[in-house]
Amino acid sequence: MKAEAFVELNEVGKEFSAQGKTIRVLSNISFTMKKGEFVSVLGKSGCGKSTLLNLIGGFDSPSEGSVYFDGEEVKKPSRRAIMLFQHYGLLPWRTVLKNVELGLEPEKSLSTAERRERALDSIKLVGLEESKDRFPAQLSGGMQQRVAIARALAIRPELILMDEPFAALDTFNRYYLQDELLHIREQEKNNIVLVTHDIDEAIYLSDRILIMDAHPGRIKQTLEINLPSPRDRSHSDFQYYRKLILDSFHFSKDGATLEFNI
Ligand SMILES: Nc1ncnc2c1ncn2[C@@H]1O[C@H](COP(=O)(O)OP(=O)(O)OP(=O)(O)O)[C@@H](O)[C@H]1O
């Protein structure tokens, strides 16, 4: 275990057995994350990104190697590490406030008033105080994802694992939520691991990008994003990183229209 590592994966491999066959999904994954770091994972569909998040969060265990979180081997999920999905998982019959409070119900040490206060604080963080008494069906997709983020934040996780959280949103909502996520992270200092297909999103948000190869899933390149914050999507340095990533996926073509999703 490296001294400064907050999350550490050591030679992690994962196999699944299905219909009498064993498939190797991840092979020899090693990386460490410092406290406060934002790491994105980019890779083609099926390369094992979600499996990797599940292993970090303790929702599944590796076939080989080990995962550590804050110095302890991960054996099961912890409320210090929260998973956020593309599908918001809100209960339609509960208001925004009640949905956010839901995440706090297992915390028996909190009184009803404390639970409400914490829920309201995180609703404020995502800018939804005006909508706290509305139901999910009365909200746009972007607002629903903000409720899901508020519910995760209320738990005060130190590590947020995000599985394509903005993939279902239109471009402007996505940009808006990406900025909000950066703002929240600045305040809350959480570690974030983001799985995405969106190359621009990874460059805009991350300190570091892990680029994965498939069959079996492995890290083929690690890219430090040395751009100042706040970042400017239209800056030429942004184009420099896009090109590096597109080259890594062998997508670059001189003169071709670039598509920044993989
Ligand atoms: N529980 C499981 N049992 C058997 N195979 C599984 C299981 N979970 C995942 N797999 C297989 O592992 C491989 C990687 O899946 P995973 O969902 O981690 O990929 P991904 O990179 O996140 O894909 P996508 O970008 O499409 O979401 C796939 O071939 C998938 O079918």
Domains of the chain: 1-80+159-236 (3.40.50.300), 90-156 (no CATH)
Rounded Cα–Cα distance for residues 93 and 96 (Å): 10
Sheet containing 21-34, strands listed edge to edge, beginning at the edge strand earlier in sequence: 21-34, 5-18, 64-69, 72-73
- Contact (Cβ atoms closer than 8 angstroms) between residue 159 and residue 188: no
pLDDT value at residue 130: 96
What is the tens place of the pLDDT at every residue in 59-118? 999 999 999 999 999 999 999 999 987 777 899 999 999 999 998 988 889 999 999 999
pTM summary value? 0.90
Q: Which residue has the tokens 């460490």?
A: 32
Answer yes or no: is pLDDT of 215 > 70. Answer: yes
pLDDT value at residue 224: 96
pLDDT value at residue 107: 87
Give the chain's count of helices (H) and strands (E): 7, 10
Average the pLDDT over 203-216 and give the result: 95
What is the tens place of the pLDDT at every residue in 132-181? 999 999 999 889 989 999 999 899 899 999 999 888 888 888 898 899 88
64-69 and 208-213 strand pairing: unpaired
Q: Is 42 exposed, middle or buried (0-12, 13-18, 19+ CB in 10 A)?
A: buried
The interaxial angle of helices 112-125 and 171-188, nearest 10 deg, is: 120
Q: Which two tokens stand for residue 161?
A: 């694992």
Residue nearest (by alpha carbon) to ligand 1 atom 24: 45
Atom of ligand 1 at shortest range from CA of 52 = 18
Answer yes or no: is pLDDT of 252 > 80. Answer: no
- Contact (Cβ atoms closer than 8 angstroms) between residue 61 and residue 54: no
pLDDT value at residue 119: 95
User: Residue 92's closest CA among 83, 102, 82?
Assistant: 102
% of the chain surpassing 70 pLDDT: 94
The interaxial angle of helices 171-188 and 141-154, nearest 10 deg, is: 20
Q: What is the DSSP string of 50-85?
A: HHHHHHHHTSS--SEEEEEETTEE--S--TTEEEEE
CA 180 centroid distance within chain: 14
Ligand 1 mutation target, pool 27, 42, 50, most atoms within 8 A of CB = 50
Q: How far is the CA of 193 from the centre of ligand 1 (A)?
A: 17
Q: Does the C-beta of 43 come closer than 6 Å to ligand 1?
A: yes
Rounded Cα–Cα distance for residues 251 and 107 (Å): 48
Q: Does the C-beta of 85 come closer than 6 Å to ligand 1?
A: no
Answer yes or no: is pLDDT of 258 > 80. Answer: no
pLDDT value at residue 255: 47
Residue with more model confidence, 234 or 95: 95
Residue nearest (by alpha carbon) to ligand 1 atom 2: 16
Q: Which residue has the tokens 């974030």?
A: 192
153-to-88, 95, 224, 229, 259 alpha-carbon distances in Å: 14, 17, 26, 22, 33
Rounded Cα–Cα distance for residues 244 and 42 (Å): 13
Q: Does the C-beta of 18 come closer than 6 Å to ligand 1?
A: yes
- Contact (Cβ atoms closer than 8 angstroms) between residue 26 and residue 52: yes
- Contact (Cβ atoms closer than 8 angstroms) between residue 120 and residue 169: no
